[in-house]
Amino acid sequence: MKKILALVLVMVMCLTVFAACAKKDNGPTGTETDVSADDPAAALVSDAFIDPINGWAEYDNLITQIKAETDYAKRTEMMHQAEDILMSNYCVIPIYYYNDVYMQKDYVDGIYSNPFATKFFMYATLSNGSDTLRLNLASEPDYLDPALNSSVDGACLAANSFAGLYTYDAEGKCTPACAEGYTVSDDGLTYTVTLKDGLKWSDGSDLTAADFEYSWKRAVDPKTAADYEYMFSGFAGYGTDEGIQVTAVDATTLEFVLSAPCAYMEDLMAFPTFYPVKKEAVEAAEDWETNPGSWCKEAGFVSNGAYVCTGWSHDTSMTYEKNPYFYNADQVSINKLEYMLSADDTAIYAAYNAGNLDFADSVPTDEIATLLADNNPEFHIVDELGTYYVAFNANSKLFEGKTPAQAACMRQAFSLLIDRDYICENIGQTGQVAANAYIPLGMADGNGGIFKADKETGYYDAYAINNDPEGTTAKARELLEAAGFTFGDDGKLSADTPIEIEYLTNESSGHVKIAESMQQDFEAVGIKMTIQTQDWNVFLEERKNGNFDIAREGWIADFNDPINMLEMWITSSGNNDCQYGRFEGWDA
């Protein structure tokens, strides 16, 4: 619809009409909810709905049960139940399923990524005679400590400067890194990992199983405040005074015990939170107990991967040089990585075209159509396993005075007003599929099947605003009326019950254009949205701390199992940006 309006109203800002769901949105398996005479909104929420603030312990408990369940078929069923709950409150509003675009010079070969967007540069080759690979991933990284990182660009930096027990090969399969291999007890709970002989840190000192024991226990320690500490929740002893059960039996033998069998243990052993850090280096920092990431805030920190950070001009550039002590150093041919630190798509693209970059992990939205039309061989599109979405802060003042069901109806109205087709076709432009569920298309179900095999199976019609703009916009008004809002004869919110919100995003042309598209969409019913852009690191912290009404989000899976995308929303998770379960004093 937007495309037609754009043709008619050239040079005029398009006003997009947005859709809402059918009268009752119950999810794939929902049934009718009892109607409450005191709260008409209760008739419009799914039967899976629970209070996302004061009732969220139910979700937390379900995730705990899933992680302990040994019947994989039942586990899959429970994960569908968890997604039903998550989608019923509309704090998470999926927009499209991810793919990735980047620019790479034709003389570069051997760079690869896994389905989780981690890129590996250590086995790249250059045919232009240089021994330096010049890259852009993003702006200044938030953390280089692998236990503290929660961003995709940070994971890429970690994967090329640290090495875990396992890693990914060019086919996206897990393969041993610091480990030779492992054995598992008959009950699937006790793992015994054998490390490679002669492992070293970048300073030449020995790296042993004790380093992994220290690092894993540090990642779980509340003092570290790692966003991903919940990834250890499947370990025996998690959450107890004794701590997780991981022990260095000797220098090359690491033993750990799980509370339930885990089908994706190799993926966890390949994940940055499970990478080793050197105790002496970490605790040499003066404020290491209160600022756990301070030990690697400048160049020269000790690591164990293919490259070591040797130069860092903050907000401008980073230099990494080959680590001669890397376990696979003889396979690394490029001696230096030079990173341009920037989030300015236009500046990055200009640097690439000027020959100052060999690889750029972002492309300005305005350039994509030309690159596609020219069939430019340096422009790459690869599949990823993840979802681009919008997140509401469940504790936002926007919902003050509203019942939980009324707040959910408000958020559902927003969701239904978003023209996902326009965003995919005119902003994404690279074959993104409009999302109608949080778990992405093609993700495994943990029981030998696919969790969501086709784009029709989901929680709403992602194209309703395109197919029935008047009906779906009317449904959005109905939802807002149930939440206590009134409308004028023009179909827009009355002056007595306005909605004014602020949308938070980082500085990127694509993200800003998506925000502007939604801004027009919401205006169809009179919702006023302003857009606030922030530097990457500030944006991450504000979002994490719940200092927003609505924000742009994206989650690329860390491993191919739905639990990864479901467990991040437990109350205590460092990735729980929606602030689920966080009533006043929840962590007292």
List of residues 6+ apart from 461 with CB closer than 8 A: 19, 21, 22, 436, 467
Say if 1-22+90-103+364-588 and 106-343 have the same CATH topology. Answer: no
CA-closest candidate to residue 100, choices 439, 368, 442, 338: 368
Residue 555 pLDDT more than 60? yes
Q: Which of 290-299, 372-381, 386-395, 446-455 has the lowest mean pLDDT?
A: 446-455
Measured at the alpha carbon of residue 496, what is the angle toward residues 491 and 498, in degrees to the nearest 5? 65
Domain 1-22+90-103+364-588 has CATH 3.10.105.10: yes
Residue 291 pLDDT more than 90? yes
229 - beta bridge partners?
A: none
Three-state secondary structure along 427-468? HHCCCCEECCCCCCCCCECCCCCECCCCCCCCCCCCCHHHHC
CA 279 to chain centre: 29
Lookup: tokens for 152: 């995709």
Residue 410 pLDDT more than 80? yes
Lookup: tokens for 112: 């690869």
- For the chain, which residues make up each domain, given as ranges? 1-22+90-103+364-588, 106-343
Buried/exposed code over 264-283 (b: 16+ C-beta within 10 A; e: otherwise): bbbbbbbbbbbbbbbeebbe
Number of neighbouring beta carbons within 10 Å of residue 374:
9
Q: Hey, what amino acid is at 323?
A: N
Q: Are 475 and 23 in contact (CB under 8 A)?
A: yes
**Cα gap 314→502, rounded to integer Å:** 30
Q: Hey, what amino acid is at 248?
A: A
**Cα gap 405→280, rounded to integer Å:** 52
**Cα gap 451→343, rounded to integer Å:** 34
183-191 — which CB contacts under 8 Å span 24+ positions?
A: 187/261, 188/258, 188/261, 188/262, 189/236, 189/257, 189/258, 189/259, 189/260, 189/261, 190/255, 190/256, 190/257, 190/258, 191/255, 191/256, 191/257, 191/258, 191/265
Domain 106-343 has CATH 3.40.190.10: yes
Quote the pLDDT of residue 29. 33
Residue carrying structure tokens 């243990």: 265
Q: Are 526 and 129 in contact (CB under 8 A)?
A: no
Quickly list DSSP for 53-98.
TTTTHHHHHHHHHHHH---HHHHHHHHHHHHHHHHHS-SEEEEEEE
**Cα gap 554→387, rounded to integer Å:** 6
- Per-residue pLDDT of 21-65, as tens digits, reads 333 333 333 333 344 557 899 999 999 999 999 999 999 999 999
The confidence band for 455, taking pLDDT boundaries of 50, 70 and 90, is confident
Quote the pLDDT of residue 12. 31
- Per-residue pLDDT of 241-274, as tens digits, reads 999 999 999 999 999 999 999 989 999 999 999 9
Output the average pLDDT for the chain. 92
End-to-end CA distance of the chain: 50
The confidence band for 457, taking pLDDT boundaries of 50, 70 and 90, is confident
Residue 6 pLDDT more than 60? no
Quote the pLDDT of residue 8. 34
- Per-residue pLDDT of 177-231, as tens digits, reads 999 999 999 999 999 999 999 999 999 999 999 999 999 999 999 999 999 999 9
Radius of gyration of the chain (CA): 24
Residue 96 pLDDT more than 50? yes
Confidence (pTM): 0.88
CA-closest candidate to residue 348, choices 361, 365, 332: 361
Percent of the chain with pLDDT over 90: 90
Backbone angles phi, psi at 528, to 5 degrees: -100, 120
**CA distances in angstroms from 281 to 131, 278, 301, 484, listed in the order given:** 29, 5, 7, 57
* Helix (H), strand (E) at residue 405: helix 404-416
- Per-residue pLDDT of 225-246, as tens digits, reads 999 999 999 999 999 999 999 9
Q: Hey, what amino acid is at 571?
A: T
Measured at the alpha carbon of residue 289, what is the angle toward residues 285 and 293, in degrees to the nearest 5? 60
Q: Are 345 and 339 in contact (CB under 8 A)?
A: no
Residue 1 pLDDT more than 70? no
Phi-psi region of 448 (alpha: psi -120 to 50; beta: other; left: phi over 0): left
Half-sphere exposure of 446 toward its Cβ, with a 13 Å CA cutoff?
26
**Cα gap 29→10, rounded to integer Å:** 44
Lookup: tokens for 257: 């015990």
Residue 82 pLDDT more than 70? yes
List of residues 6+ apart from 523 with CB closer than 8 A: 15, 529
Pairing of strands 359-360, 132-136: parallel
The confidence band for 19, taking pLDDT boundaries of 50, 70 and 90, is very low
The confidence band for 165, taking pLDDT boundaries of 50, 70 and 90, is very high
Quote the pLDDT of residue 383. 86
**Cα gap 163→306, rounded to integer Å:** 8
Q: Are 507 and 429 in contact (CB under 8 A)?
A: no
